[in-house]
Amino acid sequence: MFFVASSRDTSGAGRGSERRSIYQKFRNVDLLDKKKTVTALKPGEDRAILLGLGMILSSVMLYFVLGITVLRSYADSVWTEEGVCIVLNATVTADENCSYSCGSDCWRLSKYPCLQVYVSVNSTGRVSRLSHNEETQDTSSECFYVPRCQKDSAAMHMMIVNISEWLKVNTQVPCYYDPAEQQETVLLTRLYDHAVVFHSLLWPSCMLTGGGVIIMMVKLTQYLSRLCEEIGKIKR
């Protein structure tokens, strides 16, 4: 009886150690797979974080560039009020000289007709000279529009004549004026209005938001991975 019991105990202990060895092998394989998964995910997470940081840095640089160009010009502009201008007179006066490039260190003269337009701003009742935009106002204080200088002066003349005829047909046009009346000139269009500022800031804002979302998603994934690992340790 003793020998039979001993043999049974020995066989039971062998089966138990065999089960433990099999369980240990499966566990080692599971841990190895987890390590491989973590090793494979780590470079991808680093690249995603670098992508997010790059997008945020690029958006900040774009904000800086737009701040010293578009936003500064928009803030410094005095033509802030929009009204309706009634065209009183549109006359082509004397020719203005301009220069165009004909090669490296080569400049030649050409001429374009100066179109002077006077309007009445219905909200103020004053008569003012109409200019195309801020750039035209800075280039010429008398002419409504300054075309790009070119060799063919006849083409520039035809362009100015077409603008004059259009203003004679469309006698009421939207315009921008200075409410403080520091500038007597009114503008037909603004280089940087509300729509231009909005569209200029839209893409940097989307890039900044996208970079932040990418970093948040990576951090959330890492947090959930650690949480699952801790829950697994508690269950074991």
User: What does the pLDDT look like over 2-33, one tens digit per residue?
Assistant: 344 444 444 554 555 555 555 454 455 454 45
Cβ count within 10 A of residue 108: 12
Cβ count within 10 A of residue 155: 11
Beta bridge partners of 83: 175
Task: Note whether 158 and 146 are within 8 A (CB).
Answer: no
Q: Rounded to whole angstroms, how far apart are CA atoms 73 and 51?
A: 32
Q: What is the pLDDT of residue 23?
A: 46
| DSSP secondary structure, 149-175, as one string | P-S-HHHHHHHHHHHHHHHHH--EEEE
For residue 118, the number of C-alpha atoms closer than 13 Å in the C-beta half-sphere is: 9
Q: Any idea where the domains of the chain sit in the sequence?
A: 49-77+194-226, 78-191
Q: What is the pLDDT of residue 41?
A: 54
User: Mapping DSSP to helix (H, G, I), strand (E, B) and coil, where does residue 34 land?
Assistant: helix
Q: Rounded to whole angstroms, how far apart are CA atoms 188 and 177?
A: 9
Q: To which residue do tokens 């005829």 refer?
A: 165
Q: What is the pLDDT of residue 7?
A: 45
Task: Note whether 173 and 84 are within 8 A (CB).
Answer: yes
Task: Note whether 29 and 21 are within 8 A (CB).
Answer: no
Q: What is the pLDDT of residue 230?
A: 77
For residue 85, the number of C-alpha atoms closer than 13 Å in the C-beta half-sphere is: 28
Specify whether the backbone of 187 is left (phi greater than 0), alpha (psi in -120 to 50) or beta: beta
In single-letter form, the type of residue at position 83 comes to G
Q: What is the pLDDT of residue 77?
A: 82
Residues of the chain with pLDDT under 50: 1-10, 13, 23, 25-26, 29, 31-32, 36-40
Task: Note whether 86 and 122 are within 8 A (CB).
Answer: yes
Q: What is the pLDDT of residue 54?
A: 92
Q: What is the pLDDT of residue 209?
A: 93
> CA 151, 95, 92: angle at the middle one, nearest 5?
115
